[in-house]
Amino acid sequence: MQPFVYDGLPSRVVFGQGTLAQLRQELEHLGCSRALVLATPQQQEQASRVLELLGDKGVGVYADAVMHTPVEVTKRALQVVKELNVDCTVAIGGGSTIGLGKAIALRTGLPQIAIPTTYAGSEMTPILGETSDGIKTTQRTLDVLPETVIYDVDLTLTLPAVMSGTSGINAIAHAVEALYARDCNPVIALMAEEGIAALARSLPVIANNPTNVEARSDALYGAWLCGTCLGSVGMSLHHKLCHTLGGSFNLPHAETHTIVLPYALAYNAPAVTEAMARIGRALGCDDAAAGLYDLGRAVGAPSALSELGFSVDDVERATEIATRNPYWNPRDVEAKGIHRLLSDAQSGKRPQ
Ligand code: NAD
């Protein structure tokens, strides 16, 4: 018997095709009537269409969300929230936009509706990462968990092919680390395996045909499951390494996750035999680390950190930062092994 604690997260999820049409209804369900729509500058047009859909229940669009939730952007958004007497936010976009909604909720208590258009999974987590003066800090509080999440497959059809692949593998990373988390439980393990399988079978199809609705639906379903894993149990080595590479070397989020994941898993493999078997089963292969590497190639993702501008000379400093503060990992985090892991990810050689 393996004892466990299961903590269910209180959020409402609406999943389907064309579900955006239910937005007004969902707003009413929350008892709100003055929604501010959030987006990145790239998704401003989409945000304007959402505002139209809200009719008299929408009060404006704030389309300045950017990666890593800088506090200055949040401060400007809070000004708009006050001026327009907003009583709820509707975030349409990826982790960057949803992060802004969370940052506003943290400071105002306003309810949130999240409408994800990538596979990053932030909508299902009580986690917020923010940057101030170039330093990214992360906190976990139920105050930032969106009350309602609307998954609409139609909104993912425009996500470019390669971005879909890296975003989907970013989601897989949450499930992989959940399977060997210290606080994993049987429900999350089921979700993790199912989430990996759904994404692994759909992402290569999307890479060849980004408007395949069946595959898009499978991928979004997988992203929901993997996001739930991230929100429910603790992450370890892989997420810590990507946090270092994003925060201190400014490497892009989803691509970095995609490249590092096979190497982080190969490092942990000797300590996580059961998780390796479950991941392999979900991927349909014997060697889970190699399977993830091959999935990256199948979706046309970059294979080496060097392609993102991370040089051989950066390996030493990244190792130092990533091993500076101790944290729990199934295998001891020791500098020599991490140096090798990062060197291999830097050059993109097939993991062993
Ligand atoms: P993103 O939100 O930065 O989006 C990347 C780009 O793609 C943006 O320009 C966006 O407007 C565009 N885009 C998004 N969906 C699109 C679509 N369907 N069609 C066309 N363009 C689209 O990327 P992301 O990977 O979703 O999020 C990354 C950020 O989220 C990072 O800051 C990361 O730290 C954070 N994150 C947080 C959590 C959490 O639990 N707190 C979880 C995952 C990611």
Written as six digits, the tokens of 5 are 């604690």
What is the interface pTM, i.e. ipTM, of the complex?
A: 0.99
pLDDT of residue 175: 98
Region 86-109: mean pLDDT is 98
> pLDDT tens digits for 99-112?
999 999 999 999 99
Tell whether domain 161-347 is in CATH 1.20.1090.10.
Answer: yes
Q: Which of 96, 84, 94, 38 is nearest to 63 (CA)?
A: 38
With bands split at pLDDT 50, 70 and 90, how would you rate the model's confidence at 68?
A: confident
CA–CA distance from 17 to each of 153, 157, 202, 256, 277 (Å)? 5, 11, 17, 30, 33
Atom number, ligand 1, closest to the C-alpha of residue 40: 11
**CA gap 46, 92 in Å, rounded:** 8
Written as six digits, the tokens of 75 are 């401060």
Atom number, ligand 1, closest to the C-alpha of residue 129: 41
Place of tokens 């950190």: 305
Residue 260 has pLDDT above 80, yes or no: yes
Task: Classify domain 12-156 by CATH number.
Answer: 3.40.50.1970
Residue 116 has pLDDT above 90, yes or no: yes
Cα(69) to ligand 1 centroid in Å equals: 11
Question: Rounded to the nearest 10 degrees, what angle do helices 273-283 and 161-179 cross at?
Answer: 150
Amino acid at 336: K
**Ligand 1 within 6 A of CB of 253:** yes
- pLDDT > 70 in the chain, percent: 100
pLDDT of residue 137: 87
Ligand 1, atom 28, lies closest to the CA of 95
pLDDT of residue 344: 98
Ligand 1, atom 4, lies closest to the CA of 94
> pLDDT tens digits for 326-340?
899 999 999 999 999
Torsion angle defined by CA atoms of residues 62, 155, 33 and 100, in that order, rounded to the nearest 10 degrees:
-40
- The ranges assigned to domains in the chain are 12-156, 161-347
Place of tokens 């930032």: 144
First to last CA, the chain: 33
Residue 134 has pLDDT above 90, yes or no: no
Helices (H), the chain: 23-29, 44-54, 71-83, 95-108, 161-179, 186-208, 213-232, 237-249, 253-268, 273-283, 288-298, 314-322, 335-347
> pLDDT tens digits for 282-335?
999 999 999 999 999 999 999 999 999 999 999 999 999 999 988 999 999 999
Residue 133 has pLDDT above 90, yes or no: no
CB count in 10 Å sphere of residue 34:
18
Residue 123 has pLDDT above 90, yes or no: yes
> pLDDT tens digits for 226-256?
999 999 999 999 999 999 998 889 899 999 9
